A and B are shown apart, each in its own frame.
Chain A
Amino acid sequence: MLERSRKINPGAAVPLRADRRRQRRFPRLPDGNMASDRSDSAAPLLAGCALWKQGAEARIYRGKFLGRAAVVKHRFPKRYRHPQLDEKLTRRRTVQEARAALRCRKAGISVPVVYFVDYTTHCIFMEDLVGSITVRDHIVTTQQSGDNPESLGGLADEMGRILAKMHDEDVIHGDLTTSNMLLRNGSEGPGADLVLIDFGLSYTSALPEDKGVDMYVLEKAFLSTHPNTESLFQQLLNSYTAASKKAPAVIKKLDEVRLRGRKRSMVG
């Protein structure tokens, strides 16, 4: 399993030292204030939408935006966090997501079009890629059906190319998995049209270290969701290396990260 310390564990019984420190910085408010129902503030905006998926961070709704098929990503308030901290984190992630989407689009990487962002309720309205499937599902079905697993090679090449392009723009995705990549409707063939989604944990950095960790996260996720795909992932890395001049430094860092894990320092 991936350790995801950034998605804070709500169930920790014993308060960690960091939690106690946080409580001092954001003193606990009287209960009445905590209970103010902030989750309902987005309700009118989501009236015509149907809940589609739910994660730890946000709920995804499907609906219409000004006549177009749209998905709404609503980052709901987390009651287990202090309200002020929650507001800060949620706002930052909403902003990062919108910003990274535009940055990628400018570089020619397909991402869903952002139609409208509501920074008061933390909703992002974006294009619904109707009929698209996740790369994860595509790999799983191709592996199960057993017919020409070589067809996945082209997909791995494309993934490597796109990630190299993204890293050349100094965008670090922060949560690369095969579930966060979509294949546009009807593009399962060799000319795969890959769309990257979920930039909530993204940030910009030019450091090979950060890019190496990004690829390491993908490697862990890739190999744990898709067994026996070591050669496929190697093909992805080869294509990544071929596509970017900065790649060798990243691959070197990736080797370092593999030895020590995602966290750089052993403190905290």
Chain B
Amino acid sequence: MHVTHELELFPEYSVTQMLFTDVKNAAALRKSAMEGQINGALINPAMLVDPFQALVAANKAVHLQKAGKMKTRSLLSEIIFNLSPTNNISEAFRRFGMSDGDGAVHVVTVHPREDMSDVDTILARVEGRQVPVGEISTFTDVPGIKKLYKVTPSEEKCGSLLEAVVCRMAVKDVV
């Protein structure tokens, strides 16, 4: 049910995404992620339009880590930060990271190509029901995303919401 993508630009890494609903141990998960016990970025699925969006964030995070230009302290927090249209780190965590009371979570992990142990750890730790990653759109808060990314009606005419979001994520550090 999880989806693994290879990063073409960094072939030694893969990105695996997992989506869970009815999560009971959100607070504990968040704590163990912050303590580094699980190697996965915990994202609020309401803020994702498509798995591609998380993939773009992960790709950029790996790139910035290699270039030594990360804005946050770890690769996983950088993934969450990259999703945000602004350069405010704490706001990014608040909006795009999982909160203690959340019932659903989207987990993104970056791992070496052959090594799936991180994925197994996450699957074992999350107390919830795993659903296919493709169902992410049923969790998407479309009005919230439009508001947060400031997507104008005229922009929606020339492209999808996903395109608008990805564009902002890619260009945010120079706007």
Contacts and interface: CB of A to CB of B under 8 A. Distances in A.
Contact of B171 (A65, A68, A117): A117
Contact of A108 (B7, B8, B155): B155
Contact of A67 (B5, B11, B60): B5
Contact of B174 (A65, A99, A118, A120): A99
Contact of B67 (A106, A110, A117, A120): A120
Interface string A57-89: 000000111111000000000000000000000
A249 interface: no
B19 interface: no
A184 B23 CA distance: 44
Given A48-B8, A115-B166, A116-B59, A101 B171 contact: yes
Nearest to B160: A113
Interface string A144-163: 00000000000000000000
A232 to B, nearest CB: 25
A98 B166 CA distance: 12
B124 interface: no
Main secondary structure of the interface of A (DSSP, over half): mixed
Contacts of A68: 52
Contacts of A47: 11
A257 interface: no
A120 B171 CA distance: 14
Given A66-B52, A113-B159, A120-B67, A102 B167 contact: yes
B11 to A, nearest CB: 8
A99 B56 CA distance: 18
A95 B174 contact: yes
Contacts of B175: 99, 102
Contacts, number: 75
Contacts of A63: 8
A199 B8 CA distance: 26
A98 B158 contact: no
A114 B171 contact: yes
A105 B5 contact: no
Given A108-B155, A110-B158, A101 B55 contact: no
A127 B158 CA distance: 14
Interface in A31-71: 44-45, 47-48, 63-68
Nearest to B162: A113
A47 B7 CA distance: 12
A164 to B, nearest CB: 14
Given A102-B171, A106-B155, A108-B157, A116 B56 contact: yes
Given A115-B166, A116-B56, 10 more contacts: A64-B8, A68-B52, A98-B174, A101-B167, A101-B171, A102-B167, A105-B163, A114-B167, A115-B56, A117-B174
28 contacts: A44-B9, A45-B9, A47-B11, A48-B8, A66-B5, A67-B5, A98-B171, A98-B174, A101-B167, A102-B167, A105-B158, A105-B159, A106-B152, A107-B154, A107-B155, A108-B154, A110-B158, A113-B166, A113-B167, A114-B166, A114-B167, A114-B170, A115-B166, A115-B170, A116-B63, A116-B170, A117-B171, A127-B163
Q: Which 10 A-B pairs have the closest CB atoms?
A: A108-B154, A113-B163, A110-B158, A114-B170, A98-B171, A102-B171, A95-B174, A66-B55, A120-B67, A108-B158
